[in-house]
Structure 1
Amino acid sequence: MNERIERIPALKAEGEKRTSRGKRVLLWLVFAIVVSIIVVLFFRSSLSKYSEIQVIGTSYLSQDEVKQVLDVKTGDSFFFPKASELKARVAKLEPLQSVSISKKFPGVLRITVSEYPEVAVQLSADGKVFSVLANGLILPLREGKLPDKPILSGWEPKDPNLIALCRILSSLPPYMLSDLSEIHPDPSTAYADRITLFTRSRFEIVTTIGKLPDKISYLSDIVQNREPGKVVMLEADTYLPYSAENANNETQEADNIKEKDSTQ
């Protein structure tokens, strides 16, 4: 009899456990429903959408051009597409050297771009002036701005040599780039990429696009420390000041006059 009385509380305790487990399940279910409602309300609210789109760093491109290729607008989802996908879209714009995308909650999308630097200008046949960027891209000159950059003449657009030249120009020291006044192609049988450069300090330089990067230090030394003259930087480097060239010409003219007089 005593044993039966002792077993009754055990059955009662198991029933309490089942009731307690059922309450916990119900609470988790209510919690999940509440969270789902909050999530739905959040994604339908303005907090989950772009309220502002900022474009920073454009010069040749307009903000509208960047936003157009970005293909998002205020009111679109803040979370989709991902920043990496948006970056890939903007990076297709040719003037851009780099781009970064950041999202600042709530609702701010910031696009920071860096365009290729301007290294030269180019004149068209009808006298229009264009900017040439470090990647060889030719764009209309920004209104009201005439850059202190060399003029490229005689070049064809998309010429591989022009593109290579522009990349080299972007690596020149600023003082040297600003001293260059004109660059034109001067190909020969031996050097298909030969060029002639003229400086504002009155130097004439003959070299090739391929050799120019290795000759920059030599050229810099001459331009800064020698009197104006002609510099040839091919297999061998030579420098002849105009004063010596003029003296040689005068001597030659004098010899020609003497020879002419002696034959009369």
Structure 2
Amino acid sequence: MEKKVVSLEDRIPKLQKQRKQKANRRLITFLSIFFLLILLVIYFQSSLSKVSKIEVKGNSSVLTDKIIELSHLSNTTGFWSINKKEVESSILKDPLIKKVTIEKQLPNYVFLTVEEYKSIAYVEKGESYFSVLENGFIFYEKEITHPADAPILINWKRENELKELVEELLKIPVSIRNSISEIHHTPTKTDRWHMTLYMNDGYEVSATVRSFAKKMAIYPSIVSELDPDIKGVIHLEVGSYFESHEKIEDKGDEKDEEKAQAER
């Protein structure tokens, strides 16, 4: 069988062509990378790589401008260099803001969605009322004249006592919480945490802060067993029992008589 012999002269043009094609591919790859780097440099130097729009959603008490200021974001901030954790941490310094979510959207938009602490009660100051938030912070920047969606706290002067009360209020169902009109701090010699509640249904509740949520959970079942025409005080300190206003008045009259007889 005869072997086909290819002369060196025939092989050289093919080798040269292959080398040329390989060199061209290398050159194209090099030029592509080079121009890509130039485009990236131009992009990062241009306004296209900076934040062009900041939108805030979910806020009602905290001003949009204040949230943007806390975020430290502006139209000079690099879109790709935003540190979400740092932005979140900075915005959460505001005591009214409970949660924040940062979302980046191409080409260079930033969306800040905040969740504010809800009002859990109100404190009275003069003829005005101010919101007590879920974290115990009193929002004095916004004055309210006729609060109706949460109880009014009266005579709560110490911050630690107020915060403990708020923690207990958060534990009870919203339906029970909304049925409370006023909560007066009425400390006694034996219980500095004692309080008196005035309910929207006309009853009074005598309770102590540190067992309030657990005891108040049975309030609806207690009321359901009472005569709605007879109002009085529901005691929830140690045990749970009802005392009508008439009975309390009779006790008061008996004490007055005993005092008068003793003075004779």
Using structure 2 for the length normalisation, give the TM-score: 0.80
CA-CA distance at 1:199 after TM superposition: 2.0
Rounded to whole Å, the distance in 2 between the matches of 1:191 and 1:28 is: 83
C-alpha change, 1:29 and 1:146, in structure 2 (3 Å) is: farther
C-alpha change, 1:177 and 1:109, in structure 2 (3 Å) is: same
Of 11-20 and 97-106, more deviation after overlay is shown by 11-20
Q: 1:184-223 maps to which residues of 2 (within 5 A)?
A: 184-188=184-188, 190-223=190-223
AA matched with 2:71: L
Q: Hey, what does 1:160 align to over in structure 2?
A: 160
Q: Hey, what does 2:117 align to over in structure 1?
A: 116
C-alpha change, 1:141 and 1:3, in structure 2 (3 Å) is: closer
Of 204-213 and 194-203, more deviation after overlay is shown by 194-203
Kept after mapping to 1: 8 A contact 2:122/2:129: yes
Deviations 1:104-145 (A, max 9, x none): 223321111111111111123x55432111111011263566
- Tell me, which stretches of 5 or more residues in structure 2 are unaligned? none
Q: Hey, what does 1:98 align to over in structure 2?
A: 99
Kept after mapping to 1: 8 A contact 2:207/2:235: yes
Of 237-246 and 110-119, more deviation after overlay is shown by 237-246
Q: 1:75-154 maps to which residues of 2 (within 5 A)?
A: 75-124=76-125, 126-140=126-140, 142-143=142-143, 146-148=146-148, 149-154=150-155
Deviations 1:141-184 (A, max 9, x none): 63566321222222235x22211211332343344323322223
C-alpha change, 1:77 and 1:9, in structure 2 (3 Å) is: same
AA matched with 2:75: T
AA matched with 1:120: A
Mapped pair 1:41 → 2:46: no
Kept after mapping to 2: 8 A contact 1:131/1:141: no
Deviations 1:205-244 (A, max 9, x none): 2222221121122123234553422122122112212244
Rounded to whole Å, the distance in 1 between the matches of 2:248 and 2:208 is: 23
AA matched with 1:86: V
Rounded to whole Å, the distance in 1 between the matches of 2:56 and 2:196 is: 40
C-alpha change, 1:142 and 1:244, in structure 2 (3 Å) is: same
Rounded to whole Å, the distance in 1 between the matches of 2:100 and 2:161 is: 27
AA matched with 1:241: S
Structure 2 counterpart SS, 1:210? helix
Percent identity of paired positions between Structure 1 and Structure 2: 24
Rounded to whole Å, the distance in 1 between the matches of 2:155 and 2:249 is: 29
Rounded to whole Å, the distance in 2 between the matches of 1:64 and 1:176 is: 37
Q: Hey, what does 1:241 align to over in structure 2?
A: 244
- Tell me, which stretches of 5 or more residues in structure 1 are unaligned? none
Structure 1 counterpart SS, 2:111? strand
C-alpha change, 1:198 and 1:21, in structure 2 (3 Å) is: same
Structure 1 counterpart SS, 2:78? coil
AA matched with 2:236: M
Aligned length, in residue pairs:
255
Using structure 1 for the length normalisation, give the TM-score: 0.80
Please give the root-mean-square deviation of Cα atoms over the aligned residues, in Å.
3.2
CA-CA distance at 1:3 after TM superposition: 11
C-alpha change, 1:175 and 1:61, in structure 2 (3 Å) is: same
